[in-house]
Amino acid sequence: MEKRKAHRVGRSSTAVTMPHEWINRNQVNPGDDLYIHESDESTLVVTTVRETSTEGNEKFFDVRSNTPPDHLKRLLIGSYVVGANDVTFTCNNGPLLASQLEALNASVGRLSGFLVVEQTDDIFSVHNYLEPTGTLFSEHLHQLLSTTTRMVGMVPRLLSNPGGSELCRVTSTLGNQSDMLYYLTVRILLISLSNRRLMIDLGIDSPQEVVGGRLIAKFLEEICDRVEVLARLVESSDEGQWEIDETLAKGMEKRIKHICELIEVSVEGYFSGSVALPDSALQELYDLECIASTPLLDFISKEEDPTIASVLTGANSLIQEMGRLTRVISEVAMNNSLRRTCDYG
């Protein structure tokens, strides 16, 4: 990810420069039109693709053969998340490239309910067949929670099995599952905001709970993403024999198991309305964060093999981020519980 500063233009506008490589790759010249799509609350997608029309739950995009496949993927996922039931891409200067079709088809496989209904040389169209009221929102979030804790629980095995490609593939598969559950969860939540009856049918009592549910889903999915990053780091490491100190491995496994328990307690507090559950989780998480030095850090400082040190550093970063994100989940659950107490008290 590249960081760029926003700067003031005129009295009230803010601008950011575009990467030179992206400009060249997409043949963008000064004065050309660019299009901005909001894929979620904190993400804007800048693209050369024009959304030609939006009719109800349908979206139509006019694209070109040089439109980056990743842009098409983001547009499709963004359309899904905001509730579109039909999405069509039309290439206006020739056939869609194989790389574009591969990206779109791969994305469809991660969007529950979306199926391809038309695929020609210049048209790619999908339709949603999944009703949002098929299951309660809580069931989707609990599925995402289960996938998250399972992935986190695999971390000690990943570190004790360097080069274990099979375990890394399992992690990747679970990561794809977490993406599917996250996209579906956010789609259902956003649709419910404009349909009070649907919100009630899904077991959601207020827009505030929608916001809280979306945040929890996002943080769970982010934890899964970080486990995938560690798995890729392990997979790319040397196939040479190395192992983690047994005492260190047991201590790390205990800490990870503790964090998994706190994640489950926090999410349960969000659904039950209990203030005590997220409050107890927060206290334990603060205690964990106050530990300035851990056996893992001590082990890293003494490790001479740069490959092993890199993997262990990644593991340490993952554990710290899991604790931080779990604390945020606990805060969201606490706020939701306090709101319920005020509303019903």
Q: Shortest CA distance to 62 belongs to which of 47, 77, 74, 43?
A: 47
Name the nearest CA neighbour of 168 among 178, 147, 154.
154
pTM: 0.77
Nearest Cα to Cα of residue 285 among 321, 315, 338 = 321
33-69 pLDDT, tens digit per residue, is 777 766 556 677 777 666 554 555 889 998 888 888 9
- Tell me how long the chain is: 345
pLDDT of 340 higher than 80? no
pLDDT in tens, 208-246: 888 888 999 999 999 999 999 988 888 877 554 556 667
